[in-house]
Structure formats: C-alpha cells, structure tokens
A and B are shown apart, each in its own frame.
Chain A
Amino acid sequence: MTTGFWRASLLIATTQLGLLARSRRAWAAACLLLLPAIIAWLVAAANAKVTPSGLSTMLGWYALLGVSVPLASLLLGVAVVAEEVEDRTITYLLLRPIPRAALFVGRLAPAVLWLCACSAVGTALLVAAAATARGSDAGVSDGVRLPLLLAACAGVATYTTLHAALGVWVKHAMIVGLAYSFTIEGFLSNLPGRNQLLTIQYHLRSLVAGTGDDAWQRIDGFGATEWNPLFDSGLVLALVVACASAAGAWRLARRQFELPA
C-alpha cells in the first residue's frame, strides 16, 4: 500500500502546520515580520513631522521588503527539511511508502502559508501604526497598502522556496543563505544598472511599482529606476518558485542522510 503525492503532501502539511504553531523558529520569523510595525509605531510617536504615507512606504520598502521578508524566509525556509535532519526524525518520513517529493512540498507549504499570514498581519499593523503619524498628507491609500501586501506575500513565497531548496542541497544552508541575502539581495539589488534584474528584491519592488500609486515616488531612486513590467516580474518570481521547488524535490528524492545514533 503506497500513498500518492498529493495525499502525502497534504497529510504532512496539515501535521506540520500544527507543529509549526508550537515552534520557536516560526514565532521568531513572525516577530521579524512584525518588527517594521513596531518601528513605525515608535517613529510615529517620536517624530511629529513624519507623514502616514511617507512612513508606511519607507518602512515597507526598506524594512519589510528589504530586511524582514528575506530574513524571516531564510529562518523558516532553510529549516523546511534541515530541521527534520537536525532532529533526526526525517527517518520516519523517508521510510514511509510516499514519494519523497511529497515530503518537500508537504513541509514547504505550511512554512509559506505561515509566513504569508504573518506578512499580512505585519503589513496591516505597519499601515495601522503609520496611520498614527502626525504629519499631514492624504493618509495611507490602497495604492500603498495592497502593493505592499502583494510584494510581501510574493517575497516570502519566493525566498522561502529558494531557501528550502538550499537546505536540501547544501549542508550549512543558513550560512550560505545569509551570505546570499546580504551580498546578492542586499547589495546587488541596490546597485544601479541591469544587475538588479538578477535579484528577487528587484522583482518584488517591480510588483510595488507596477501596482502602487504616487506615494512610492518619495523613495530614493524610485522614479529614476526602470522597473520591470508587473507581469514579467510576476512571471520571474513564479519561475523561481517552480524551479526551486523542482530542484529541492529532485535532490531530496536522491539524497541520503547520515544521521548519528
């Protein structure tokens, strides 16, 4: 008696979701995604000149998309398979009559779902905290709120899948992931020129540029940058998710794990 891919994925995902809610790592990632909202609240309280839309776009652009989303995804993404290996419980899953790819998908999906939910809450709280700013402008519009939500959710999905695949391919995925986040995503995405196209960050920002309103123009260099069309960036991110999922599942199907007694 064997279990099919989708059924096994669903079983693992539902069980994993329950375990995730009790995991310290998951709550640490949630805290990272709530951090911009806390900063927004502190800045709004401390600075009388800052405006609601200015505060939400600045913190959304730099803190949420630039720092919280990549780091929270790294934290949870590398653990998708690596956590089971570290805990030495992966044996139970590998030796069941299921396709190994289901293990990857079943563990990845709850992580993405959790981070999307936390991103949605983080974005909502960020906007709410920014709205308390005392500077006068038109307030936080849907043209700020929705693009931020879209980009944050797309960001956690893409980064988490990428890091999950990394966790299956390399031994010290956290170190490699940190190096990637700082050098490629943190550095390259802020350099002028076409090199930005190689970063996920650029495509997330393109989603914001493609759906956002004029409030985003206050960001340094926003108007001077040539953003990708919305559809193209969406396609690139979807391709990254698909390729990383396939690479992770493929590797897991072939990889053996040497677990100490």
Chain B
Amino acid sequence: MTHASPAPVVRAKDLARFYGDVVGVCDLTVDIPPGTVGLLGPTGAGKSTFLKLLAGELKPSRGSIEVLGAPPFANPAVHSRLGFCPQQDALWDDMTALEFVEFLLRLSGFEPARARKAALVALERVQLVDAKDRRLGGFSKGMRQRARIAQSIAHEPQLVVLDEPLTGLDPLARHATLELFRQLAAEGASVLFSTHVLHEVEALTTNVVLLHRGRLLARGEVPAIRALLDRHPRRYSIQAREPRRLARELVELEGVEAVRIAEGGMLVVETRQPERLLEALPAIASAARAGIGAFESRDEGLEAVFDYLMGGST
C-alpha cells in the first residue's frame, strides 16, 4: 500500500520578483508541505519577498505561486484561511490591543461577540491579555510583536505565515512564542516562519527551506542541511601564548585542513571535523604548553556558510 504525500500548502513554480533591477526572489520552484516549516536565510536572502508573495501582498514578476491551492493576490478565499504576521513594526497606535485584534476579526467575518471572544483567546495565547486595554502606541517592541502575532492566529487560520516573528522578543517571550507555534502545529495548523538564526528553526522543526540571494539553496530536513553545512570546513580562532608550537601540533590532527597565524598572533584553524578538534585541543595545548587564552568559532554568521554553499553549488 502506498501513501500519497499530502498536498503542499504552498507551491511556487519558477517564481521571480524584481524591484527594478534588484532581485527579490528568482526562479524559485518549491513545494512546502503542511506542518511547521522554517524559512532560513541571511539578511537579504529574499525571505520577506517570498513571504509577501505567498501572503498575496505582492504579485510575482514571473512564474506562479499557489497558497492552499489558489493564487493568493487579492484573493479573499485564500486570506480567510491564511494568517500573516508582517515583519514591519507597524500598528494602529491609537487602538488598544483588543480593538486591533477584534477589528481584524470582524473583517474576517466574525460576528461581534465571537470576535471579542476569539480576540481575547488570541491575546491570552501571546500573553497580552493583561494589556488588552492599553493603546498599542504605548507598547514595547516585544509587545507590539506579540500583538502582530495575535492578529495572525486569532481567526484560527489553516496556514500561519510569520516574517521574523522572534525578532525583538526577550528570551522568555521567545520561548513562549516557540511553544505557541508548537501548539498551533499540534492543533493542525501549518506554520511557516522566517528567520536567519538556524537554532531557532531547530528548536521548532526539522523541516527547512534555505534561501540565499533570492534563490532556493536547499529544502529538506535539518539533519540533511546540517550535513550540507558540514561539507564546509569550520574555522576557529585560537589565541595562544605559543601559537607556532600549537600550530605544529594541530596540523597533524585528523580533519584539520589548514593552520595559519593571522595578525596579532591569532591562530586560525580550518577543520572538517570540528568535534575532533574540540575534543583533542585541551590535551594538545597542554602537551605543547601553548597556553590558550581565547577560543572562538569564526563561522557564526550564516552568511559566510551560505556564501560557501552557493560557491560550492555553482
């Protein structure tokens, strides 16, 4: 017996969107399955453009996009089943949080009593119910972000699309928001959210779409993406009292591809087996009496890794 895979919630084919000469997204063909999916990419990768096309805020310059089986631009049938949390920090500052969510629910076709009830539930879910009667203009950045999330989930949409939803949230609110996304997924909603931080995606889902410079870099499970990333030699900086002596020892270590001494005597090590380096370094440093002062990864920025992958894929 074979199982048909569920119909994708988003289907983009040769999708392109240009802003004059600037590429937003280009030749993007991707099917996004139901469930929780992270849209990952460095700043300027085209994540927001893709999400705006997906939400129906923008029209494609070329190609096509279908959301829940229909083109999203100016399509009320799609918008009734879609919740969108934009990245821009824009709200009607004179409204209270409750008025804001309630008004948008009324526009979604909710009767007044039901709209009030659903708005309170949504504000409760983002922990804003205590501030429901305060004007949005007086909210902190994190609270404003949560108000935006509340309006996107209040009408219980089939697909929730969130553009950088964790930006501006403090660690507690971030944790609570990730938990909210888990609950939404458990309730059967599909959640698609963008971020440029890999571990935020990993905390929530194994399913990711990687964008870079407007193009699809990879789509699939996080372990596969991780494996892809592992093809990239990792770089570490080591500050040592005796860098030359340490370099001589490290170059013999399995997986180490290059060792050089940078300006200021800093040792830069490139390895394809970072775990092996981290495991062996204390013993090597001790045996060589190298005296390690500082140790840090030079590949923190996703941009560097993505640049490498793009270079490797072309």
Contact = CB atoms under 8 A, between A and B. Distances in A.
A103 to B, nearest CB: 9
A96 B59 contact: no
Nearest to B93: A87
A95 B52 CA distance: 10
B76 A97 contact: yes
B94 A92 contact: no
Given A8-B107, A11-B107, A89-B90, A256 B76 contact: no
Given A1-B109, A91-B57, A98 B76 contact: yes
Nearest to A252: B74
A87 B92 CA distance: 8
Nearest to B107: A96
B74 A1 contact: no
A166 B19 CA distance: 23
A3 B108 CA distance: 6
Contacts of A92: 86, 104, 151
Contact of B90 (A19, A87, A98, A100): A87
A36 interface: no
B88 A260 contact: yes
B145 to A, nearest CB: 13
Given A11-B106, A93-B107, A95-B55, A259 B88 contact: yes
B70 interface: no
Nearest to B102: A15
A23 to B, nearest CB: 8
B45 to A, nearest CB: 13
Given A8-B107, A98-B76, A91 B90 contact: yes
A22 interface: yes
Contact of B57 (A1, A19, A256): A256
Given A8-B107, A96-B104, A97-B108, A253 B87 contact: no
A91 B58 CA distance: 10
A98 B19 contact: no
B109 A91 contact: no
A95 B94 contact: no
A254 B74 contact: yes
B56 interface: yes
Contacts of A258: 19, 58
Nearest to A93: B107
A12 B74 contact: no
Contact of B73 (A96, A256, A260): A256
- Specify which of B73, B76, B77 lies most central, judged by the most chain A CB atoms within 10 Å of its CB: B76
B84 interface: yes
B180 to A, nearest CB: 20
B88 A88 contact: yes
Contacts of A87: 90, 92
Interface in A85-123: 87-89, 91-100
B82 interface: yes
Contact of B84 (A95, A99, A256): A95
Nearest to A22: B94
Contact of A1 (B80, B87, B95): B80
Interface in B49-90: 55-59, 73-74, 76-77, 79-80, 82, 84, 86-88, 90
A257 B55 CA distance: 13
A97 B86 contact: no
Contacts of B91: 89
Contacts of A22: 94
A19 B106 CA distance: 17
A95 B80 contact: no
Given A87-B90, A95-B84, A15 B76 contact: no
A98 B107 contact: yes
Given A11-B103, A19-B92, A2 B77 contact: yes
A15 B95 CA distance: 10
Interface in A1-44: 1-3, 8, 11-12, 15, 19, 22
A260 B104 CA distance: 22
A84 B173 CA distance: 29
Interface of B: 19, 48, 55-59, 73-74, 76-77, 79-80, 82, 84, 86-88, 90-92, 94-95, 103-104, 106-110, 151, 155
24 contacts: A2-B76, A2-B79, A2-B80, A3-B106, A11-B107, A12-B107, A19-B92, A88-B88, A92-B86, A92-B104, A93-B107, A95-B55, A95-B56, A95-B57, A96-B79, A96-B104, A97-B80, A97-B108, A100-B74, A256-B58, A256-B59, A259-B86, A259-B88, A261-B87
Given A92-B86, A258-B19, 5 more contacts: A1-B109, A89-B91, A95-B84, A96-B107, A97-B107
Which 5 A-B pairs have CB atoms at the shortest separation, nearest pair first?
A: A88-B90, A97-B76, A97-B80, A1-B109, A96-B107
